[in-house]
Structure 1
Amino acid sequence: MSAATEEKQYRLDSLKWLVVTVLVAGAIYGNYYYSTESLLYRVLAMLAVALVAGFVAVQTRKGESFITLLRGAYTETRRVVWPTRQERNQTTLMVVAVVLIMSLILWGLDTLFGWLASMVIG
């Protein structure tokens, strides 16, 4: 028995990235060149070029691994156990309390050291 696994072939990746670069550079130049046109038309054109460039980029090895990363991240976000409203409120109040206490301590130390410096300097 042979367990032959087919690995997807990524041909001409360099050429695909060159196409993506040319598309993005062309969109930037076109946006500058047609700066007198309506903003809506320019944004729509940029979105269309971004979609085409994204489609070409996904056809590469790095693009495919990026999509795999996004799918994994989405799966992980579904596993997150979010805090309840009470836990969120208690944590927020604790953070606010610690910040207030630390600010009072730092204010007190600043005042003390300022007073000591003025006593030494005269």
Structure 2
Amino acid sequence: MSNDQSRDALNNAPIPQRNTTSEVVRSGSLLDVVLWIIALILLISATLVNQYLPAYWAPANGVWVRVGVISACIIVALGLLYATHQGKGFIRLLKDARVELRRVTWPTKQETVTTSWQVVLVVFIASIVLWCCDYALGWLVKLFIG
């Protein structure tokens, strides 16, 4: 078996299906709800920091302090969301998507150029057809209205 045949056999091999993502999402707990609430509060706080924090905390008058507080709120919120079952399921989804992207057969440069020119040609022809229809309808409207 040549390298091309073995590579094709690997690319065409059935992908084992795991239901772990749906199982992870279904097994929520009270801790997950609390983490979601805290994360949402932090994300909402991050949107309000720039406007309201300088009035209550003097060092927040500096723009870099506010950027730091906003960044910290977002990072902590994302960390809390990662700690939930749904967050772990999302990370697993991203890892599975990465594996699938490695299996994609990408087009060659020539195929991409050819397809792009075909798309440009179809768009050009469609725009001319639509312009003709618009012109004809405008002429009909002028004919009836006067």
Say whether the fold is shared (TM-score over 0.5): yes
Match of 1:37 in 2: 61
Gaps of 5+ in 2: 1-23, 55-59
2:40 is the counterpart of 1:21: yes
Match of 2:101 among 72, 77, 81: 77
Separation in 2, partners of 1:32, 1:88:
48
TM-score, length-scaled by structure 2? 0.63
TM-score, length-scaled by structure 1? 0.74
Q: Which has the higher helix share?
A: 2
Separation in 1, partners of 2:127, 2:133:
10
> Shift of residue 31 of structure 1?
2.7
Separation in 1, partners of 2:102, 2:64:
36
> Shift of residue 75 of structure 1?
1.6
> Shift of residue 119 of structure 1?
4.2
Superposed counterparts of 1:1-122, under 5 Å: 12-34=31-53, 37-121=61-145
RMSD: 2.7
> Shift of residue 95 of structure 1?
0.9
Separation in 1, partners of 2:126, 2:134:
12
Separation in 1, partners of 2:127, 2:63:
47
Q: Between Structure 1 and Structure 2, how many residues are aligned?
A: 116
> Shift of residue 90 of structure 1?
0.9
